[in-house]
Amino acid sequence: MEEYFGNVNPVGPRGCYDEAKRFQEAITMAYHNHHGLETRIVRIFNTYGPRMRLNDGRVLPAFLSQALRGENLTVFGDGSQTRSFCYVDDLVEGIYRLLLSNYALPVNIGNPDEITIKEFGEEIANLMGVEFQPTFQELPQNDPMKRKPDITKAREILSWVPKVDRAEGLRRTLEYFKEHITEVTAGKVNNTPRSF
Ligand code: UDP
């Protein structure tokens, strides 16, 4: 929930990413409190959908591209880490509602439907009608083991909940990937852990 102040490694491979987010919130609140500026802080969780970059190393483009190319899916660690994926239209609606509110403290916007990365790979393989064949690789350093937003605030303050479930969101995203099949098949899938 939003009141949790976090526990991140400032000098790990994700340090710049984590600390930059924290600093943005700090400076935003400083402008709000000190200068009376109207501000909003949205905490965005894993998001996916059409027009995602096909080759940016995130798990969904990596898995979809690999499945489209008939390759094994690269699962980092044993795949027991969880993520909660929000369809982009839901995210946009949540941000829009937050902008129209007068709430200046952080608000989580994400889909709390949590899934392990291994199950996610299985879902994508099923959707594509291929067998799920994972290649296990080393878990990146400081890769969070669990990510699931508590969206009580968004529900109460913005009357917002995500509407597009993963089955529907993945179908729509797959359509987009199929339209861009040449880009998917031409380039090598980027599945190197993102270093931010
Ligand atoms: N992941 C994976 N295989 C890949 C790419 C990512 O197993 O080819 C894992 C990654 O280790 C992480 C999860 O999928 O546990 C989500 O990774 P992503 O980079 O999409 O988002 P983030 O780590 O920022 O939540």
Mutate-to-test residue for ligand 1 from 71, 117, 122, 124, highest number of ligand atoms within 8 A of CB: 117
Q: What is the pLDDT along the chain (196 residues), one digit of tens a residue?
A: 899 998 889 999 889 999 999 999 999 999 999 999 999 999 999 999 999 988 888 999 999 999 998 999 999 999 999 999 999 999 999 999 999 999 999 999 999 999 999 999 999 999 999 999 999 999 998 899 999 999 999 999 999 999 999 999 999 999 999 888 777 667 666 666 665 5
Is 54 part of any domain?
yes
Q: For residue 191, what are its two tokens?
A: 């599945």
Structural domain boundaries enclosing 54: 15-187
Measured CA to CA, the distance from residue 27 to residue 11 in angstroms comes to 21
| This prediction's pTM | 0.92
Q: Is 103 assigned a catalytic role?
A: no
Is 192 part of any domain?
no
Q: What element of type H or E holds 128?
A: helix 117-128
> Cα dist. 6→18, 22, 95, 110, 194 in Å?
10, 9, 22, 17, 21
Is 8 part of any domain?
no
For tokens 């996610």, the residue is 120
Is the CB of 64 inside a 6 Å radius of any atom of ligand 1?
no
What residue's CA is closest to ligand 1, atom 13? 59
**The ligand 1 atom nearest the CA atom of 139:** 11
Is 82 part of any domain?
yes
Counted domains in the chain? 1
